[in-house]
Amino acid sequence: MDKGFDYQTLFETHYQSAVRYAASFLYDVEEARDVVGDVLLRLLEIEDRLKTEMNVSGLFYSMVCRKCLDIVRRRQRLEDAKDYMKQTADRISDDELASLCQKELFRIIGQTVYHLPWTERVAFSEIRLEGKSYREVAENMNLTWRSVEYNVRKATEKVKERLRYLYG
């Protein structure tokens, strides 16, 4: 019966050189240690499929290399995305940026108002967005002036809370 590979010997013989190998890709020793540790754990997970006649150290270095290359590719994609966003931001004027921010703000306020109870939604919309007077809204809704004021205050607090939640 085959006893499998010798994990302890692999660790003692190759850990330090594998960390140096990974660091040559990643330029970060701590991250290299993490990669090597992850690969060692993966080898333990598949231990029952490894045989003594297999070149486990070759597999080990190959797995370290692949994991490092994945990290390098991920970093490059992130850098490409950052560059694209920076180039896009550089092309947008301050006025366009302000307009985009204002549109997003109005979208969030509109979405929040849409989900308010009917009396709060109508009172808030007519007073804050349409500029009607409290008395005018109270007459249209068959409510007292104080009731309209209360509903607008509740709706305003909910909108503020939503904006605080999203933007701090």
Q: Output the CA–CA distances (angstroms, integers) from residue 84 to 68, 70, 80, 88, 91, in the order listed.
A: 24, 21, 6, 6, 11
Cβ neighbors of 5 (< 8 A, separation 6 or more) are: 43, 47, 50, 51, 52, 54, 56
Q: What 3-state class would DSSP assign to 46?
A: coil
CB 29 within 8 A of CB 23: yes
**pLDDT-based confidence at 2, cuts 50/70/90?**
very low
pLDDT digits (tens, 9 = 90+) for 94-138: 777 778 778 888 888 889 999 999 999 999 999 988 999 999 999
Higher pLDDT, 88 or 44: 44
Is the CATH number of domain 94-167 1.10.10.1590?
no
Domain boundaries, the chain: 7-90, 94-167
Query: Three-state SS across 53-93?
Result: CCCHHHHHHHHHHHHHHHHHHHHHHHHHHHHHHHHHHHHCC
Cα(36)–Cα(161) distance, rounded to whole angstroms?
46
Q: Per residue in 16-35, pLDDT tens? A: 999 999 999 999 999 999 99
Q: Are 119 and 141 in contact (CB under 8 A)?
A: yes
**pTM, rounded to two decimals:** 0.49
